[in-house]
Structure 1
Amino acid sequence: MKNFYYFILFTLLFSVEANSQDFKKTLVKAFTSQDSSEYYFKIAKKNIKSIDDEAQYYFCKNARYCDYNQLDSAIVYGQKALKLLKNGNDVNSLLTVYNNLAKVYRKQGQYDKAIDYSLQGIRVAEIEKKENWIAFFNAMLSLTYHDFESYQKGVFYGKKALKYWVSQKEKKPNMISNALNAIAINFDDWNKPDSALYYHKKVFKYFKGIDTLNIGETYNNIGNTLLKQKKYREAKRWISSALQINDKNFEMSNGVKDNDYYYERATNYTNLATIAYELDDFNEAEKLFEKAYIYAKKSDNAEKLRDFYYQRALFNKKRNNLSKAVQDQESYIKIRDSVFDVERAQNFSELEAKYQNEKKEKLLLQSRAEIREREIEIKSKNTQFLILGLVSLALLAIIYLVYRQQKMKIKQQEQEFALKSAIAKIETQNKLQEQRLTISRDLHDNIGSQLTFIISSVDNIKYAFDIQNAKLDSKLSGISNFAKSTIIELRDTIWAMNKSQITFEDLQTRIHNFIDKAKEAKNEIQFDFFVDAELKERQFSSIEGMNIYRTIQEAINNSIKYAEADKIQIQVHKANNQIQIVIEDNGKGFDLSATEKGNGLLNMQKRITEINGTFDIQSSDSGTKISILL
């Protein structure tokens, strides 16, 4: 991982114009120098000539302090570098700083900030289509969620990183190893050792024939999983190999003690100390814990210190050193609480009880003055709690009043809006009614008078002239009858337009008028029209009412013309939550399958469908039945 990081850094520093090569070379010296880093940084600062130079200066300081575990300084210079790089075109430098800040905050145990900077980096990488960086940040998220003990998410992000790296034509073992280890340690602490070992051992596939000095972390992690399975001696062999690899890397780096140096050894010695006390070698465990503490402290990593105190507390508990066990437990809880921002957990209540029992005799020997001080302290705390409780109640009351007032305001606004909507609806309906009345007057005064004139003119022609031509006489009578029929239809239309609402009682009256006229032509037909009293006041819009009226009218017309019936029934009643209209005759009927639907049947079906009803017709030699459901 470190080699990849250096590769990115030097690539960024040398991918610039020739006139700034001296400035960049000075920054490289500042970053790589063991003893003269600050000297070269001062020289570089004097040679800053542009915003880009300033951005690279802060970028290198951030990288230097991050690599050498000076975390607070790394954050300060990282924030300065971000402000400048966000407005520039150096995307790789920007992404590197996001990664550095995520890494620093992860070490400090500020996982929310670590996740935030990783996600910010992913957003930039996605916009710039830097897929390798997206994978890199996913691996960082996997490690951060692991430290935060959110293992399911850790596995999820680790697998996303792994999927990218293994899909590349040119495989990068270091990147694949990083993703595999991230997945494996999440499975390990998730108590899924088989999955952890599976992913850890896959690392060796990509390092076949390559020096294993690059994968000391994997040796340690395999040992850690075996340790949790209580395979202590096998675990010790793997972790000891990891320590030897780390020592060899230290020799090859000319004795540079960077952050990785302390982090790796904190892990190795904590694990070896744990194995020693599990094997009841308390003296060896004591020595190893001393080394682990030094390295964990210098690593400045919250996770390593947390793990150290946790394991040493268990060690001291096992050797019955309850006082030290409680101290380590308190240190562990303090770090854990600072990391997870939760109330202090009582994970070691049994151990605490034992420790308190040992102190019980000493507590009984305390003086009355000390007891009095304790009582005063308790009273003071009770007073504080009482005041805090009263303040809390007052705040709750204020919050409730504000909430209630806001709720009433919202309710009032809703009522005002409903009122305005109702007024607007009424105004719209009034305008529509005025338009309907205007149109109906125009129809009555213009078209109605013209049809009346046609009837009168045809009748005058018939009476004024002695028409001998029977065909012509029939044609004139047809025109007169058609005009009369049209006037009736027009009156029905005007009637519907003049009503904003139509009831079944209105329809019943209108249909009775129609039936009375039908009887004049077919007086031998018996008509029966029944409307359920409960439905008489049921209202429809003018369009709905007219469609129902026309459908019933068409059905009656068909029965009169074609059915040769002597009885026609129209019934309207409730059927569950629906209204059913039935028009039935006792005529000769017709074969539905053999008869092509004409305009009359199609028009009836269309009218009922338009008002969201269903239309059904049944016919046999005993009559025809039309059912309408609304």
Structure 2
Amino acid sequence: MDSLFLIAENKGLRKGQRIASSNIIYDYILRQPNTFLNVKDHLRLANIYYYLEDYDKYVTINNKLLKFSVETKNDYAGVKANYGLGVYNLINFSNDSAFFHFSKAEKISKRSKEKFYYEEISENKANLLFINKDYSGSEIAAVNALRFALKNSNHRIIYDSYITIGNSLGGINDLEKAVEYYKKAIAKTEDLKKDPQYFSLKAQPYNYIGKISQKNGNYKDALKYADSALSFENYRKIEPVIFCYLTNNKAYSKFKLGDNHCLDLFNETLKIGDSLQNIPVQLTSKLYLSEYFLSKKDSIAAKRHADEVRILAHSNKVFEDELKALELLSKIDPRNNSAYNKRYITLNDSLQNVERATRNKFARIEFETDEITNEKNTAEAEKEKISTQRWMILGSSLFFIVIIILFYVSRLQRAKNRELRYLQQQQLANAEIYQLMLEQQQKIEEGKQIEQRRISKELHDGIMGKLTAIRLNLFVLGKNTDPETIARCLEHIDEIQNVEKEVRKISHDLSQNLFADVSDFTLMVTNLMEAAKGHSQLQFKLVADEKIDWNNVHSVVKMQVYRILQEALHNIQKYAEAKSVCIRITREEGLLQISIADDGVGFDSKTIKPGIGHKNMRERAVEINGELAIWSELGKGTQINLKIIT
């Protein structure tokens, strides 16, 4: 596609070759649905067809763009399409259609954030109003274009606006002010040296100032401005139409100053105009020749040129020049003066009516465009209002949902914080309880040691002393066996019975503390079972491996195991309806195993969710690097197995 565009835009190629490439692009673009419309490609192709003067395809592309802009609310496409159609209608003298599209483009551009081509549109609209002699409207539109052009540093539109404002002021005979704006345009040409039309733009305001000088009767100044402009460049070669305008101004000034060399200049411009088939140049040259020959009293030549102007101007709808021709003919041909004057008045009145009707039509188009725009804006505002309301409802709903979620999350967080504080307090309580248990156990140990020392003293000081005395007293039997000695020794033998009683008493005391020989933790478990037995009908059995050295087991492990046993016994008493409970504690190859089994009613572990007690037991097991498993079946009791790596 890009290669085809390059061929179509290459002005160095033959026109037929460029048209062929353009038509391939055109056929492809027309097949594309509007949803895939590439606005830039369409505008690029429309521009190519404009310069190739294939206006039918130019209009087709712009109409497609216009439809697309309405369907998709694409302001850029809407501005460009209306602007393009406005230019097309302007060059084809469909001024009302041109005004409609320019007004439409102006409204779309004005409401858009980017203000697409706003100054260009306003400037073209100003020119259109000037053509239809709405000089005030033209000036307003041109000033509007100038304001935006100055803001955007658009030098070409600034220049064009100065020219249009000058023309509009000239139309209302404010000639001094008009010259002021033409001079501003001259100064602005310094910023347009890179413009392809630079030399034409530079000469144009000189030509207009020369015209005003002629209107004021200042033909010397008019001649000066014409000569100055002609000195800028060889216009006859590069811009022959500009050359003709400037030369006609120069020749007419010479004519008014009495210089007869003007005839050659008039004939030269007419020849160029005929070769170019340029109607405005032909009309101006013939009008000046008619006036020249009238001054020379050559009525035949004067009438011939004036008649040619009248016919050519009428056929091309250049009615201003037709009026000038009729005015000249009334002077050249006095016998038909009344007919020419009648035609002049009729045409002039008709033109004024048309101008008035056109201005009214333009005002109506402007009003209708505003009305359509206002209706559209109202509809869009209503739609926006509904959309805003929906968004507000949605936003409010989301706000309340967020508030509810935050409230729920806050409550959940507070509950978690309470649970965390509870766990922390429980851990502190556990630590304190365990510490108290240790202190209690320590006191038991101290008591046991005191008792051991007391028994040791009794054995050493009492029984051992008595046995030693008996042994020494009986030792005499080895030497003497007389009756007296034997009788005395029998008394000591009776003393042995007393020693026997003391030994029996000590033995009895020791038997009462026999369980104290079991390890400390095992005693704690036994005490736990005894406490449970005190308020239930349960029968407890503890099987503990005596080889386990509980001193080498970390206190945290012992505390958590104790709590798990405590929770398990609590659950058995509360739910199991059991008669007996067996606790086994074994250790094999660094693995401490504890099992708690009951013969209660059991439960279905698949249907009943674990409660807080089970959850706490599992968490305690995890904290000591353990694994806890619960097995249960209806009617077969429950067994809890705890494995801990130590």
What TM-score do the two structures reach when normalised by structure 2? 0.43
Higher relative contact order (CA 8 A, sep 6+): 1
What TM-score do the two structures reach when normalised by structure 1? 0.44
Larger Rg: 2
